[in-house]
Structure 1
Amino acid sequence: MLTTAEILRKVRDLEIKSKHLASDLFSGEYHSAFKGKGMSFREVREYYPGDDVRFIDWNVSARFNHPFSKVFEEERELTVMLLVDVSASSLVGTVGGTKKNIATEIAAVLAFAAVNNGDKVGAILYSNKIEKFIPPKKGKQQALFLIRELLGMDATGRGTELKKALQYFNNTNRQKSIAFILSDFLDGGYEDALRIAGNRHDLIGLKLYDKLDQHLPDLGLVQIRDLETGGLQWIDSGSKQVRTQHEQDFFRITETANQAFKKAGSDLLHLRTDEDYMKVLRQFFLSRNR
């Protein structure tokens, strides 16, 4: 567990790094990708040639015997929620850093991108239960608080249940939000909750995985510990069949996540811990502007 001094130092380091990335690399892409997703009613005015006929207010038009149009404006304030998996499996990391470290960096960048654009940002940190709920607020101090909580978080729950996090999110966020889900998506049973959330919110999943999650090295007979259950098991990593099965399990879990997000009408990005997450995020934001 990190000391208070270590957390504060890491918060400062992350603030410098993430603020630079958020403002210099894709603050504009972030704005373009999400602004205009929500529209609010402003007024009714006389119809002008060229107005979208779908927005004619027929009740007012009938009353005055003249066509009137509803006028909408872009919602200037968005709410960004970060659903971050802090379960024991997030501590895996053989190259580039642990999944938790990468998730924390990405969360920091997204938090500062949000506050730089005047949006609210909040978070749900979860394992197989809700470890921490940070209500969405504006401002730099909110982003720093969120980072500090992530850095100092030691999950008390065992296992992972995205379903519970999504249900909590659905119950606490009635208005449409932009939600980033940072997880390795190793659990199942979250499909229905994801679909319900996807109907109301703009969901973007970031599937973080380590090289070891996909490829089991040939180390002979080894004893491994399940970080989430604590159970020990001997496996023969020298067996090609065992290594192939390990890889097939990875692709099965990945395909389950792909299909779940597809059915929810939402996006899922894939990111290995040693890859450039800024490149992946920026490409995604740019693709939304096409």
Structure 2
Amino acid sequence: MENGFTKEILKKVRQIEVRTNRLVNDSLAGSYHSVFKGRGMNFDEVREYVPGDDIRTIDWNVTARTGVAHIKKFVEERELTIMLLIDISASGEFGSSALSKREMMAELGSVLAFSAVRNNDKVGLILFTDFIELYIPPQKGRTHILRVIREILFFTPERKETDLRVPLDFVNRVIKRKCVAFLISDFCLGEDFDGTLARLSHTLRIGSKRHDLISLMVSDPRETELPDIGRITLEDAESGHQVELNTSDPAVRRGYREIAEENRRKIHHTIRSAGVDLLDLSTAVSYLPPLLGFFGARRRRMRR
């Protein structure tokens, strides 16, 4: 790799680190910690009983040995495993705003990774198309996180198409202990939309029973609204299929919008019916307020 390209990569990774670290420090760190709890409680120490302590925590062996009542103290086992499942298929390269969908997915992954490392959690990465392009096992530490971000930003996939079942099946097979898995994708499901969605539903249900599965759906406004610019040719980035549309015709623009909105409703229904949380994001709008609101809603739900 040439030195210039290496410097360019390092500069971009550093920019992402600075930007996402600031967001985490200012806004997300507390929300993340309060939403994603540890796996349970670990024994910490034994101390003498004082009035008001829960008698169920009395350590009878120590009490009998010393002749003085002692209780067991526990601390929360904070460490979690966070898995980032990021779609790097060809449809993610599209962007009509400041960020392409893949760039936004990279920032989301970076923010979540830095939030995790601040809480001493492990972070793993899966980059996928219709197969596993890259797997980085969960680890801790800044150096590891910077590698994760570098791969999210610069990894070149071998294939173009998407199969969302692939990373979910992989997580279920490889990650033995329960993890928090973020599935970050544009959910472009190809021509057999309904069939693909039905097959995905089954996989989502299995994944949500084994792990805390959260879907982040990233879209571009042009995927819903066509501009009035005359005749255009649209090409599916993954399949190469082309269609010509007359965008000056209001009926064409309306039909395009209705199909896109109906597909979005079907995706939402499928994900939520499988017991999976969903956050719907657009490249045209800052992801931070919706992400904070999402964490807040999860926190309130946990308290009920």
Pairwise TM-score range, normalised by the shorter structure: 0.7 to 0.9
Contact 1:23 1:116 in 2 (8 A): no
The residue correspondences of 1:41-60 to structure 2 (distance < 5 A) are 42=43
Q: Identify the residue that residue 10 of structure 2 maps to in structure 1.
A: 8
- In the alignment, residue 105 of structure 1 is paired with which amino acid? E
Cα distance in 1 between the residues matched to 2:210 and 2:75: 20
Residue of 218, 226, 244 corresponding to 2:228: 218
Could you say what secondary structure the match of 2:10 adopts?
helix
The alpha carbon displacement at 1:239 in A equals 2.4
Distance 1:154 1:198, change over 3 A: same
Cα distance in 2 between the residues matched to 1:49 and 1:229: 67
Identical aligned pairs, as a percentage? 38
Structure 1 runs not aligned, ≥5 long: 56-69
The alpha carbon displacement at 1:254 in A equals 1.5
TM-score normalised according to structure 2 size? 0.82
- In the alignment, residue 265 of structure 1 is paired with which amino acid? G
Aligned-residue CA RMSD (Å) = 2.6
The alpha carbon displacement at 1:35 in A equals 1.6
Cα distance in 1 between the residues matched to 2:23 and 2:169: 32
Residue of 215, 236, 256 corresponding to 1:246: 256
- In the alignment, residue 148 of structure 2 is paired with which amino acid? L
Cα distance in 2 between the residues matched to 1:160 and 1:221: 28
Q: Identify the residue that residue 236 of structure 1 maps to in structure 2.
A: 246
The Cα offsets for residues 29-59 of structure 1, whole Å up to 9 and x where unpaired, read as 10000124x225759x9xx999799x9xxxx
Distance 1:52 1:105, change over 3 A: farther
Structure 2 runs not aligned, ≥5 long: 58-71, 190-196
Q: Which is greater in Rg? A: 2
TM-score normalised according to structure 1 size? 0.86
1:18 lines up with 2:20 in the alignment: yes
The Cα offsets for residues 221-254 of structure 1, whole Å up to 9 and x where unpaired, read as 1122221122333222222232222212222221
Residue of 282, 287, 302 corresponding to 1:277: 287
Cα distance in 2 between the residues matched to 1:41 and 1:111: 25
Q: Identify the residue that residue 147 of structure 2 maps to in structure 1.
A: 145
Could you say what secondary structure the match of 1:216 adopts?
coil
- In the alignment, residue 101 of structure 2 is paired with which amino acid? K
Residue of 30, 33, 36 corresponding to 2:35: 33
Contact 2:42 2:77 in 1 (8 A): no
Aligned residues: 272
